[in-house]
Structure 1
Amino acid sequence: MEAIVGEEIDKGSTEPRQVTRLIHLPEVQHRVGLGRSTIYRWMAEGKFPGPVELGGYSVAWEERAIDVWISQRLDSA
């Protein structure tokens, strides 16, 4: 399951439209290779990006934030 969040399109703009893909916990876990409890613990410690609240009990992470986090981990390795 995924959600797409976009910005209003400026018809006169020559820049490409920026779209943020939101990903749910199972995909986040798959991408980073961490379990749920570790992800939430690291979020509380400020070591992992936090989710976006979608409403009710539903949350998702910005795909770009996860990609940046992975890149930073690879660069420091």
Structure 2
Amino acid sequence: MTRQFLRLPQVEGRTGLKKSTIYKLIALGQFPPPIKLSPRASAWPSDEVDDWQQRQLDTRNAVA
């Protein structure tokens, strides 16, 4: 899969989380932080968001 940069609305759509929750998880070290693309633009590498999603599934499956 090709790496893409995801802006916040795309990350919200992929994860089902809202902005406040995403940034709270970043502060707790539980979600990848965005990278700065320019002084006013940030984005997340798609592979890091995909990895986070896979860890969530792995955790769920380990508990089940």
TM-score above 0.5, yes or no: yes
Distance 2:13 2:34 in 1: 16
Name the structure 2 match of 1:20.
3
Give matches, 1:1-77, under 5 Å.
19-77=2-60
Deviation per residue, 1:16-61 (Å, 9 max, x gap): xx85210100010010000000000110110100111011120000
Which residues of structure 1 form unaligned runs of 5+?
Answer: 1-17
Task: Select the structure that is richer in helix.
Answer: 2
Find the structure with the greater CA-based Rg.
1
User: After TM superposition, what 4+ stretches of structure 1 lie above 2 angstroms from structure 2?
Assistant: none
Alpha-carbon RMSD:
1.3
Task: Select the structure that is richer in strand.
Answer: 1
The TM-score, its normalising length taken from structure 2, stands at 0.87
Shift in Å, 1:76: 0.6
Aligned identity (percent) is 37
How many residues of Structure 1 are paired with residues of Structure 2 in the alignment? Answer: 60
Paired residue secondary structure (1:20): coil
